[in-house]
Structure 1
Amino acid sequence: MLTVTQIAKQFGISRSTVLYYEKQQLLLPTYRSENGYRWYGDKETERLKTITSFRSYGLSIASIRSLLARNGLSQTQILKEHFTHLEREIQHLRAQQKAIVVLLQEPSLLEEKMVNKQRWVEIMQAAGFTETDMVKWHQKFEQLEPEEHQKFLESLGISSQEINKIRAF
């Protein structure tokens, strides 16, 4: 059994995040001792592993709640919706970049600042992704949307040979 602090440390998250998940009814302790300490068992540890995995994909608390409750939309539907949302956001940001380039009249900026493989890895690492997390992310993307995964990798300017390696994971 683990305390709030211990389980938070195990997952590399803050104590307040664990308490927030409890408040949101995502993660409840196995029991509370007389002195108010929360204790988490193996079942809760596995649930927190799932929650942190979904959070690493950028899913909202509401989407995670739905996935854990197994009601409403399926995992595939929620992840597709999230992917579509991310794609719209990326397109919106690219449109803003293009507008700025036009205003500055410096087309070279667009080529320099476009998201490439190196920049994407930096973004993922800044978001807390480890190398293993990134591999899992690509595996899930490949599993759910292989054609879109291919397009995404191509948009990063990755060679065909490297794309094949990434998709083979």
Structure 2
Amino acid sequence: MLRVKEVADLVGISVRTLHHYDEIELLIPDKTTEAGYRLYSDDNLETLQQILFFRELGFPLKEIKQIINNPSFDKKEALELHRSMLLEKRSRLDQMIVTVEKTIQHMEGGIQMSNKEKFEGFDFSHNPYEQEARERFGDQAVNEANAKVQRMSNEEQRAFSEQFDAIYKKLAVIRHIAPESDEAQAGIRDWYNFLNNIGNYSLDAFKGLGEMYVNDKRFTNNIDQYGEGLAQFMCKAMGVFADENKK
């Protein structure tokens, strides 16, 4: 059996993380010595591997705990699921690497890229920030949005993506004007209405979403692919929109 420090060194995570998993009863070591040292068995390590696979795929700890504690949980079946999801993730990353390489060549004048080619590899059908949205805005808004998207036909989903893309492109064009200007506020109203067509976002939630665009670099990097500074512009414009419409 291994002590907590040995497990941490073996896996490459912190001792504090293992302590936290124990405290929330996600991974309880099989034994604890009289001196209070946690001792982890091979079964514990197998469970830890499952936890870290789920974490790599973006699952929150609360959901992981529910999954692995379910009597019907099958480790082999879970590993097969991990494999298929990781292969899908690798495929998407490979496509994005190709897109990056082609974009570099395009910038250097070596090739010409169509607008469609510039966004190959991006996949908005899986939202990596869903947990942050749930924690910030509550389950209801996120569940309603997910349910509406899932009910869409392929054609409706394509139209949805095209509308999303059109709004962002329009905002990217005007991102250098004052966020409080009539033109900027009209563009942001389109975004607000779009979100509320698929969910139920209050003005405060809308403003909070804008703040996430600049506070979380993952959001910033994705949004700024439409134009550098777009995330900052949207954050300011969304804040103005929310404040003005609450009066």
| TM-score of the aligned structures, taking structure 1 as reference length | 0.49
Which protein has the larger Cα radius of gyration, Structure 1 or Structure 2?
2
| TM-score of the aligned structures, taking structure 2 as reference length | 0.35
Higher relative contact order (Cα pairs below 8 Å, separated by 6+ residues): 1
